[in-house]
A and B are shown apart, each in its own frame.
Chain A
Amino acid sequence: MLDALTVTVSVAALALAAWCGYAAYRDQPTKDWHFIGMAVVSLLALVQLVVGIVQLARGEKPDQGAVIFVSYLVGALAAVPAAGFLSLAERTRWGSVTVAAGAVVLAVLEVRLHDIWGG
């Protein structure tokens, strides 16, 4: 369950990064559709956080400790919304670049999460 979610979130994050990167390439700011995309990715990260906590509550132990695991889950949830808020204030291509960077950060966090869980 957790592995499947990690892969799904990673793929969604990279797709979002490519999409916003394309917007930046075309010299466009983030638009409504991009924000819907960010919402979808954030929702997936939220589901992952909940599932992760449920797994911990069931007594499963991440390889590198529960504190690190939960910190990364929270970080993964925060990454894209935080970048999205920044892009609201910057109505240029640089807002799109920032969201793309946020999505890449999320993908990297997913790889780390996989290591921390011990997959």
Chain B
Amino acid sequence: MSEPVAEEERNRARTRLVKGPGLLLVWLYGVMSVGAVSRSVYQIATEYGRAPLAYTLSAVAAVVYAFITYTLVRGGETARRAALVCCAAELAGVLVVGTWTVIEPSAFPDATVWSAFGRGYLFIPVLLPVTGLLWLRKARRG
């Protein structure tokens, strides 16, 4: 309010994250968000009792995807850092849940988004955070 001009300049200087390879990244995160959100809403609404652990983990994945998509579109240094943290958390999640589903399949009567490192999604869930981390590190200068 007090300094609208300075505010505007800051916005212009905001690191754009949706450019070049970043566009592909946003697209894939967007697709994963839509896929994971609709999937977990449907599963939790219709058959939660069948595999509560799997569906809860899918819902967590959905929230993480949606948040990363938002930060990428928003841009700026804070958003970049937040996305960086979330990509790291996402990678950890994929690796932990992926390993867990491989070691103890009985805990998961139905698949999660991250089952077997995202095999049901062409392994995109395990490749995406790695690509994301690389891009976000590179975009710092941008």
Contacts and interface: CB of A to CB of B under 8 A. Distances in A.
Interface residues of B, number: 17
B20 interface: yes
B20 A90 contact: yes
Nearest to A75: B34
A52 interface: no
Interface residues of A, number: 20
Contact of B20 (A86, A87, A92): A92
Contact of A101 (B19, B24, B38): B24
Among B31, B35, B38, max chain A CB count under 10 A is at B31
14 contacts: A67-B42, A71-B38, A75-B35, A82-B27, A82-B30, A86-B23, A86-B27, A89-B18, A89-B23, A90-B19, A94-B23, A101-B24, A101-B27, A105-B31
Interface of B: 18-24, 26-28, 30-31, 34-35, 38, 42, 122
